[in-house]
Amino acid sequence: MVDNLKKEYVMSPSKYPNPELSEKEKLPLSSSNFTQIQISEERYRLFAEKAGKILFDADLKTGAVEWLGAIKDVTGYEVSEFHKIGLEGFKKLIHPEDQNRLSVLIDSVLEGECELETEYRFRKKDGKYIYLEITVVFLKDEEGKPYRVLGVLKDITEKVHSRRKMEKNAEKFLYVAEQTGQLIFDIDFRTNKIEWAGAIEKITGCTPEEFYAFNLFACRDSIHPDDRGNVWKTLKHSLKTGDNLYAEFRFRKTDGNYVYVEDSAVFLRDEAGRVYRALGVIKDISEKKHVRETLERNEGRLRTYMKNLKGIGFQLDRNFKPVMMLGAVEDILGYTPEDILSGKIILFDLFDPGDRDRLIENQIKLLENPELVIDHIYRIRRRDGSLRWVHEIIQSIRNVEGETWLFQGSVRDITDKKRAEETLKLAEEIHKKEIHHRIKNNLQVISSLLDLQADFFEDKEVIRAFRESQNRVISMALIHEELYKSRDLESLDFAGYLRKLTGELFRSYALDSSKIRLHMDAATHIFLRMDTAIPLGMIVNELVSNSLKHAFFEGNNGEIRIKLQCMEYKTEYDECGCPESFEYVLSVSDNGRGIPKNIDFENPETLGLQLVNILVKQIGGEIELKRNSGAEFVIRFGKQEPSTL
């Protein structure tokens, strides 16, 4: 505690001026001469009052306490009154609900370390409770028994209230952020009232004013009668157990038409374990439902078609010349079995040139391994010149001596199946694009909600927290925007994404580009998968935001540099001259004031730096902080083979 007080005074002496001090007294103080109380009591008093804190020294044997600092401002008591309060008297001013917790905590601390930092409620002279933050050090005698307590008290009431307001609002938006829906609801089961937000008119056909009057029972009446029983049964189960709710049902709009919706909700319980609140989203899935039903019908037809499809049964001699062909030969090949068996048409000539080498390789495998069964797909050129996809299964038939006698198998025309697979693949790509597009849009909605909510606060710290959360959401939204635009829905060009992200950050902080410059050195054609790109984007967001907020003095010029490279970490090369192994190196630096030496980067107190360390571990990387001429963060990640590029 004493070291912390000394450190605060030495690092920020301008906060606690004392014109009567000599030049010698103004010099930075060492820990030893500070703890030996070589400065005056007046200096202690002035320091504590300016800092809005109370310092105390309690004798545990006598119960006497010495108080110093902003006593009246914090407690409401006059200094003379408060000096009469002993240790036991002070304990009685602690809120009854906090006394036992504090006592248990002190006992736990004394068993190990001798330092304690916590918060509790304290009754002022006027009877009102405030929140105090207490930091204490217990001094022990030679027998290890505590005999003295040194500590600091600070009023954190406003901070606690702001934190609770922010937690109350963040609770709602946290659940919304985990969903990707469009209509947000908050149900209070004690009043059956519901708060709505989002695409109200699009889903319900009601105006927001009309829909705000909907309670739980009005919503029930809007569910299709055939679905109402199951939905209500599911809701009752969730109310009883607190389990998450998921339901698909038809919802009646104001024009009488029904739409398919997806309802997802989570439930909150009170201290007695009763569900009192539900947070969730409702999405219009009519189009999704229609596509799903269409696909199910098509898949059913395809299964029926494939089941009744006639193929070709064949036998080949040891030289792979046909000796038997039965079935739908003419339907599939356009030739009669006689055309093939007579040698008039050479079967090998019907194979598509692009597949012939692979077919020859498979024939060699059959000769070398009689136990083998070959299952392959290739193309056939029909008599009319059209190409057909066929699926062939072929194996060896051996005689009594175990020698290969014949090759036999079957061929099915799978042209329609191949076309269907290509159609499904295209539909899947479109569906993935739509998912990325919707995620991007919903993240933008969340960003806008955070922006609107921030307008209700005047506390700069709260507004800053909302802005940081908004920037984190934007960094994820940009990822999905880039994936939606790209052909490859699994990875994206990270250099292009970095330029957009940093541009958004500069715009968010409304910086003068002529003062703070950005230098980007990112290798092109570095494609990262989503599971790496999203955490890495948030890391860059945190580090650049940190530089923009803290690195530069107001009005000064500065530079932020971002460098992304692909580096070798082994010297071996393959036959093509490419490195056998490599890793990515990302550097984010600035030429500002640098990171203070007293900040432990590996165990930071700020949310932003904690998030950076967590995300670096998430991508399996390593991070290093360099404090030369500013601050530089070097991140190494993604050790892999070149074939993954």
Nearest CA to 221 out of 249, 190, 263, 252 is that of 252
| Confidence tier at 28 by pLDDT (50, 70, 90) | very low
Alpha-carbon distance of 32 to 37, in angstroms, equals 9
Average per-residue pLDDT for the chain: 76
Burial of 596 (0-12, 13-18, 19+ CB in 10 A): exposed
> In this predicted structure, what is the pLDDT of residue 140?
84
Reported as a single tens digit per residue, the pLDDT across 194-239 is 877 777 777 788 887 777 777 777 888 888 999 988 988 888 888 8
Asked if residue 402 has pLDDT above 80, the reply is no
Alpha-carbon distance of 619 to 529, in angstroms, equals 11
Reported as a single tens digit per residue, the pLDDT across 443-479 is 555 556 556 666 666 766 666 666 666 666 666 666 6
| b/e 322-353 (16+ beta carbons within 10 angstroms → b) | beebebebeebbbbebebbbeeebebeebbee
Asked if residue 568 has pLDDT above 60, the reply is yes
Q: In percent, how much of the chain has pLDDT > 90?
A: 3
Nearest CA to 102 out of 89, 85, 90, 118 is that of 118
Reported as a single tens digit per residue, the pLDDT across 271-306 is 888 888 888 888 888 888 888 888 888 777 755 644
Nearest CA to 469 out of 168, 159, 170, 165 is that of 170
Asked if residue 127 has pLDDT above 80, the reply is yes
* Parallel, antiparallel or unpaired: strands 516-522 and 558-568: parallel
Alpha-carbon distance of 422 to 409, in angstroms, equals 27
Q: Which residues contact 543 (CB under 8 A, 6 or more apart)?
A: 588, 612, 633
> In this predicted structure, what is the pLDDT of residue 570?
52
Reported as a single tens digit per residue, the pLDDT across 433-443 is 565 555 556 55
Q: 559 pairs with which residues across the strands?
A: 517
More reliable by pLDDT, 163 or 119? 119
Tokens 């309060």 belong to which residue?
85
In order of their start, the domains of the chain are: 2-161 (3.30.450.20), 175-284 (3.30.450.20), 307-413 (3.30.450.20), 490-645 (3.30.565.10)
CA 565, distance to chain mean position in Å, is: 24
Q: Which residues contact 341 (CB under 8 A, 6 or more apart)?
A: 322, 323, 324, 325
Cβ proximity of 380 and 354 under 8 Å: no
